[in-house]
Amino acid sequence: MTGIEITDVTAVLALGSIALFVLGLKRLAKVRTSRSGNALMAAGMLLAVVITLIEVGRVDYRWIAGGLAVGTAIGIVIVVRARATKMPQIVARFNGFGGAASALVAMSLFWGAVVEPASAATTATVLGGTSAATMVLSVLIGSSTFSGSVLAELKLSGRIDGAPRIPVRAALMGLLLVGGAALGVVGAFAVTDTTLAAGLVVGLLVAAALAGIVLVLPIGGADMPVVISLLNSLSGLAAAATGFALANNLLIMAGTIVGAAGLILTQIMCKAMNRSLVNVMVGGYGGDGGGDADTEYTGVVSGDAEEAAMVLEAAESVVIVPGYGLAVARAQHAAHEVAKALAEQGTRVRFGIHPVAGRMPGHMNVVLAEAEVPYEQLAEMDEINPDLSQTDVVIVVGANDVVNPAASSDPTGPIGGMPIIEVERARRVFVIKRSLSPGYAGIKNELFERDNTVMLFGDAKEVLDSLATELSA
């Protein structure tokens, strides 16, 4: 098994690798099987790496072993230190790693073909037109994905606040992308001078990185689930482009699967917010929210944990709707304790999950899984909404826009038409929130003024702990 010819053995192994990718992706669709799905996809990627090493033949395995050791160590440190509340930042970081890896592989391909041997021929002549073109595409997508993902992580972690408007942003984006691509094409297809070609390709790298920053900077926190999904898709497309540049079928297929899955998820997120991808990319609504809207409300009723516990003790059905505030307060364990206390008294308890609750798709599922909330208690928005009119009590924990009735009462408003969890239909609603400040959409929440709503002001964990204590007394 020498050279780059695919043998019967590697062909069979390649088929097994793709099967692991597809099966793993399928199992990721359900919370109960997602852990095994992730393990299957990781095994598929490891097998793909082994197949590639077999096909390449003569390799200095010391570098390969060193890279695997360093990468494994970094991955373990990141995951061990990660909290479920920080999972969106981790996903954004991994998206960035994927984009950076694709761009660096493409750059190394260019470097090894033209710069290091000081070739007097163009990149396209040395590598072939297809490899040269996809090399440019890989650098363009990979570099923009990396810078955009880094910025997304900084915004998610609160190190960069706000969603500043960039003048003539669309024109600037077009200039950076088209100009960067032009530099790469000229450098790969028309320039024989090694130094000039290298300079042009580096210019492509820089222009693409700036494009990623311009893309993400004006987008507010409310749109981060969509942004993360899109960046995930772009990291897959960058990998697929690198696969074409290397003539590696496995990388092409794996990258295409990731790219397609990310794009489908992006579309699902947009649908859940009743917005188009173009609308999101133009720059979201409401920035990072958090303004003071207390003076806009009239007739708001507030209560305490003891009063709420008395109502809950008489309830036959309760739905808990978590939001990002629950994740920030690390109140998932306290929410589970409340659910267990209610279940022990014979109450039917479920968690209603909105598709874009939190900072990434599935964020609330991950947070609740960390607290070992039973999978059968989790219900998606479409499943829970028909039952809310027959629900005795809904407890909203840190959610805002995803339960705001303004989505239907004000069709022309910032969240008009967005599917929400229709908690106002329940007999009683308790909203646990620090204040009456608006969510990311920057508008008041009509739910707070409804006759059947009682506000429980305070830190989500402290309020839920008090509820659990009252219910267990």
Average pLDDT, the chain: 86
- Please give the pLDDT value at position 136: 95
pLDDT score at 316: 96
Residue 453 scores a pLDDT above 50: yes
- Closest to 114 in 3D by CA, of 48, 184, 45, 163: 184
Provide CB contacts within 8 A for 11, sequence distance 6+. none
Q: CB of 96 within 8 A of CB of 146?
A: yes
CB distance 455 to 448 below 8 Å: yes
| Helix/strand/coil for 432 | strand
pLDDT at residue 288 in the model:
47
Q: Is it the case that residue 284 has pLDDT exceeding 60? A: no
Section 234-247 average pLDDT: 93
pLDDT, mean of residues 18-47 = 85
> Residue 35: pLDDT band by 50, 70, 90 thresholds?
confident
Are the CB atoms for 354 and 423 separated by under 8 Å? Answer: no
Task: Describe the strand order of the beta sheet including 453-457 as a list of residue ranges.
Answer: 378-380, 348-353, 317-322, 393-397, 428-433, 453-457
Confidence (pLDDT) at 291: 45
pLDDT in tens, 69-95: 998 898 888 878 877 667 788 888 989
Place of tokens 């043998």: 7
User: Residue 344 — very low, low, confident or very high, per pLDDT cuts 50/70/90?
Assistant: very high
Is the pLDDT assigned to residue 283 strictly greater than 90? no
User: Do residues 457 and 397 make contact, with C-beta atoms less than 8 angstroms apart?
Assistant: no
Tell me which residues are annotated as active site.
Answer: 401
CA gap 292, 182 in Å, rounded: 47
Q: Could you tell me if 266 and 95 are in contact, meaning their C-beta atoms sit under 8 angstroms apart?
A: no
Burial 413-440 (b: 16+ CB within 10 A, else e): ebbeebbbbbbbbbebbbbbbeebbbbb
Q: Band of the pLDDT at 176, cuts 50, 70, 90?
A: very high
294-472: what CATH class? alpha beta
pLDDT at 290 over 50: no
Question: What confidence tier does 222 reach under pLDDT thresholds 50, 70, 90?
Answer: low
Q: What is the pLDDT of residue 2?
A: 45
Q: How far apart are CA 209 and CA 176, in angstroms?
A: 9
Q: List, in order, residues 6 or more apart from 183 with CB less than 8 Å away.
A: 200, 201, 203, 204, 207
Contact 318, 384 (CB under 8 A): no
In the chain, domain spans: 1-81, 83-282, 294-472
In the DSSP assignment, the letter for residue 357 is S
Question: Quick check: 125 pLDDT over 60?
Answer: yes
- State the DSSP code for 281: H
Which has more pLDDT, 202 or 33?
Answer: 202
DSSP letters along 163-204, please? ----TTHHHHHHHHHHHHHHHHHHHHHT---HHHHHHHHHHH
**Average pLDDT over every residue of 108-121:** 79
pLDDT at 7 over 90: no
- How does residue 287 score in pLDDT terms, banded at 50, 70 and 90? very low
| C-alpha span between 140 and 241 (Å, rounded) | 10
| Contact between residue 104 and residue 246 where contact means Cβ atoms under 8 Å apart | no
Closest CA to 350 of 361, 362, 336, 363: 336
Percentage of residues in the chain with pLDDT exceeding 70? 93
3-state secondary structure of 352: strand
Distances (CA, A) of 365 to 49, 225, 258, 351, 417: 31, 14, 21, 10, 24
